Chain A
């Protein structure tokens, strides 16, 4: 396998490097040198001038919360969630917006930005000329997406709290939950990006993201759908993100919550391994 041929070359002579190199041989994962943090640092440095994009990314879910929370909230007053709780509309929609913004942030960062770095800026060609390996690139980019997504989510959570849309102390866990959602989508998004050949293919990203945003029990409960469609919705990743956040922010927590987490982590894991393998194939062969 190519992973075994590249691993020794890119392993630095530290204990930590040796351990991760051995790990890399155990799991079916291309080589890395445990240096993903360097790529994160690079992104932080290059992002110093892009802070305005950070602010605007945060604004979108806030607009949705105020618009739909106030407007639709005044129309429908209360909503019965799928677990039977009766809550106000802002309380119903805020967790879904948190999940959706975690998804949007992660996907935007891991598709558009990564595509540009991969095909135009040739950033990863440069990175792979250092001791870093393809796995470092995958892990580094996805970690950066998570940090950015985490910032958005934290800010949104504060706004939701001020808007009275948070019902329980469990909401403290909504932040790590948002990171799981971001992880799943960032990893999948970057995996998909490695297959893209032109900007035109980003229409497919929109085609996947927009229906999920609109139909994952985001703006109305799952019970609105006919039975057969409910199962389709249940299969999509954002539904699990929304259900997870809603359970936490409304304090409606049961063991089922872990099911959502497992689903998201599994998807993210597939994305990381897939991305690293594709990068290896694209850039090192």
Chain B
């Protein structure tokens, strides 16, 4: 019976298995001898824990992109350009320019985070350090790996958005307390980018595609999705393009709750589009990961 007692030397190795289950059950897995297979939830959480452990070592490097970048945009666009706009025309639709642009930066930042987490990093795990292959050599499936990794990206999105929103609220960037709802909307917006980009990355051989993604998708989306000015200012033929891009829906939904003027039908429409992007992207990601990683 002594063999079934938790081993005092199990240490960090048991951490991953520990996460999912209830305390006693998790610890008994560290013991020698035959053990029960991990549940699907435990497998995904084990992947998530792996990414958490990695991030604990590398978080310093992400501070600049994660925190300072949106702050710079807030200062330059919200306050600098904002003073120009406010002096000229008294804001956008009666809203001070800062409060117009801050919810949009919240949504745009999630696109940046999604890009940062789903391009080079993912290709690295697929191709350069074979991290996914290592995970798939365990009882984990492609589905578990993706669920765990998406959960990790969602955690990144949450912290990045929460920090930026706290700072932006100090500058008076939000008009209504309902702006806290920007957080879940931003996470959804971020996932609407993350899952399709995962699917795209799994089809890449080198990083050329990422440059094209950055230059031809991310930058134009930031500039033409109603972020810095309402899309009504664009020529008529360009407006329908904004309607199909996920960023515009994220921006509009965040702006609606942040200014406290939610028109329910369009609001749920925006959320629905984002959810569809995330779901279809997820499906495509599972498909292209399976093709790439499972022989």
**Does B73 contact A214, Cβ atoms closer than 8 Å?**
yes
Total number of A residues with any Cβ neighbor in B under 8 Å? 33
A45 at the interface (CB under 8 A from B): no
In the bound complex, residues from chain B placing their C-beta under 8 Å from that of A204 are 64
8 A Cβ contacts from A254-278 to B: none
Question: Which one of A70, A200, A211 contacts B233 once the chains associate, using CB atoms below 8 Å?
Answer: A70
In the bound complex, residues from chain A placing their C-beta under 8 Å from that of B83 are 220, 224
Closest to B60 in A: A200
A170 at the interface (CB under 8 A from B): no
* Count class of interface residues, chain B: 20 to 34
**Does A75 contact B85, Cβ atoms closer than 8 Å?**
yes
Min distance, Cβ B211 to any Cβ of chain A, angstroms: 6
In the bound complex, residues from chain B placing their C-beta under 8 Å from that of A52 are 208, 212
In the bound complex, residues from chain B placing their C-beta under 8 Å from that of A211 are 72
In the bound complex, residues from chain B placing their C-beta under 8 Å from that of A74 are 229, 233
**Does A76 contact B72, Cβ atoms closer than 8 Å?**
no
A4 at the interface (CB under 8 A from B): no
Question: Which one of B77, B212, B233 contacts A75 once the chains associate, using CB atoms below 8 Å?
Answer: B233
B276 at the interface (CB under 8 A from A): no
Q: C-beta contact mask, B207-247 vs A, less than 8 Å → 1, else 0?
A: 01001100110011001100011000111000000000000
11 CB contacts below 8 A, A to B, read A52-B212, A56-B211, A56-B216, A67-B220, A71-B234, A76-B88, A77-B88, A204-B64, A210-B69, A215-B72, A219-B81
A207 at the interface (CB under 8 A from B): yes
Stretch of A8-16, A19-27, A57-65, A128-136 on the interface side:
A57-65
**Does B64 contact A76, Cβ atoms closer than 8 Å?**
no
Q: C-beta contact mask, B156-167 vs A, less than 8 Å → 1, else 0?
A: 000000000000
**Does B68 contact A207, Cβ atoms closer than 8 Å?**
yes
In the bound complex, residues from chain B placing their C-beta under 8 Å from that of A215 are 72, 75-76, 80
Question: Which one of B64, B84, B223, B228 contacts A220 once the chains associate, using CB atoms below 8 Å?
Answer: B84
Closest to B89 in A: A75
8 A Cβ contacts from B128-187 to A: none
Bound-state CA distance A130–B283 (Å) is: 54
Bound-state CA distance A204–B219 (Å) is: 21
**Does B229 contact A75, Cβ atoms closer than 8 Å?**
yes
In the bound complex, residues from chain A placing their C-beta under 8 Å from that of B269 are none
A53 at the interface (CB under 8 A from B): yes
In the bound complex, residues from chain A placing their C-beta under 8 Å from that of B233 are 70-71, 74-75
**Does B215 contact A71, Cβ atoms closer than 8 Å?**
no
Q: C-beta contact mask, A203-221 vs B, less than 8 Å → 1, else 0?
A: 1101100110011000111
**Does B215 contact A56, Cβ atoms closer than 8 Å?**
yes
A155 at the interface (CB under 8 A from B): no
Min distance, Cβ A199 to any Cβ of chain B, angstroms: 9
In the bound complex, residues from chain B placing their C-beta under 8 Å from that of A57 are 215
**Does A220 contact B61, Cβ atoms closer than 8 Å?**
no
In the bound complex, residues from chain A placing their C-beta under 8 Å from that of B19 are none
Bound-state CA distance A77–B235 (Å) is: 16
**Does A206 contact B65, Cβ atoms closer than 8 Å?**
yes
A79 at the interface (CB under 8 A from B): yes
